[in-house]
A and B are shown apart, each in its own frame.
Chain A
Amino acid sequence: EAGVTQFPSHSVIEKGQTVTLRCDPISGHDNLYWYRRVMGKEIKFLLHFVKESKQDESGMPNNRFLAERTGGTYSTLKVQPAELEDSGVYFCASSRTLGETQYFGPGTRLLVL
C-alpha cells in the first residue's frame, strides 16, 4: 500500500509569488489533514478535510492560504501571495476514519525569499 505522497519535496520562491502544494493521501482514506512546521517551532494543524468537505480550518493562518480537495481524493494547498513567514515544512496526513492513526507524508519544504 502506497503511503501519503507530497509534491514537490522542496520549493524555493520569491516573496509575492504563488506556490501550490499537493498531497495524495492513502487510497481509501476519507480524512486528510494539513500541518505546518515553521523553523524552530511546533508542528501546527492547519485544516482537516472529510472527503471533499472542509471539516475544520481553524488553523489556517490567513486568507492567503487556500486548500481544496476536489473529488475527495488529492488535496492542494495554495499560498498566494507568499510571504517570508510562510517558509517552513508543510505536512499532509490521512486517516481512514476518525480515531484511526494519521499517516504522514514526507513534507514539502517551502522557502520564501
Chain B
Amino acid sequence: AQSVTQLGSHVSVSEGALVLLRCNYSSSVPPYLFWYVQYPNQGLQLLLKYTSAATLVKGINGFEAEFKKSETSFHLTKPSAHMSDAAEYFCAVSDPGGYQKVTFGIGTKLQVIP
C-alpha cells in the first residue's frame, strides 16, 4: 500500500519569499511521485513528476522538487513566491508497475501575502 503525508494543510509566505511545501511518502516499491496544483475554480494541473530519472525535477512556473529516497521525501520548492502561486497543492504517488492509480496527500493551501 502507498501513502502520502503532506505537512501543513495551510502555508503562508510573503511575496518574493521561498516556497517550501513538504511531502513524505510510503511505498513498498520504487514509486512515481507527482505534485499537482489546483487553482481556484479549476481542475488539477500537473506541476511536475518524478519517474526514476533525475532526482531533481523541474516543473512549470518555476517549481522544482527533489526526490530523496533516504528521507522518503519529495518536497516542493520555488525560490520566490508570486501572488499567482496562491492555490492548493497536492503531493501524490503511484506504483509504476500497477495500474497507475494515484494516491494523494491531503493537500496544502498556499497563501501568498503581498
Please report A residues at the B interface, Cβ cutoff 8 Å: 3-4, 31, 33, 35, 41-45, 48, 55-56, 59, 91, 93, 95, 98-99, 101-107
Contact = CB atoms under 8 A, between A and B. Distances in A.
B100 interface: yes
Interface of B: 4, 36, 41-46, 49, 90, 96, 99-107
Contacts, number: 54
A98 B99 contact: yes
B103 A101 contact: no
Contacts of B42: 106
B49 A44 contact: no
25 contacts: A4-B43, A31-B100, A33-B102, A35-B104, A42-B4, A42-B103, A42-B105, A43-B44, A44-B104, A45-B101, A45-B103, A48-B100, A93-B44, A99-B100, A101-B46, A102-B100, A102-B102, A103-B46, A104-B36, A104-B43, A105-B43, A106-B41, A106-B42, A107-B43, A107-B44
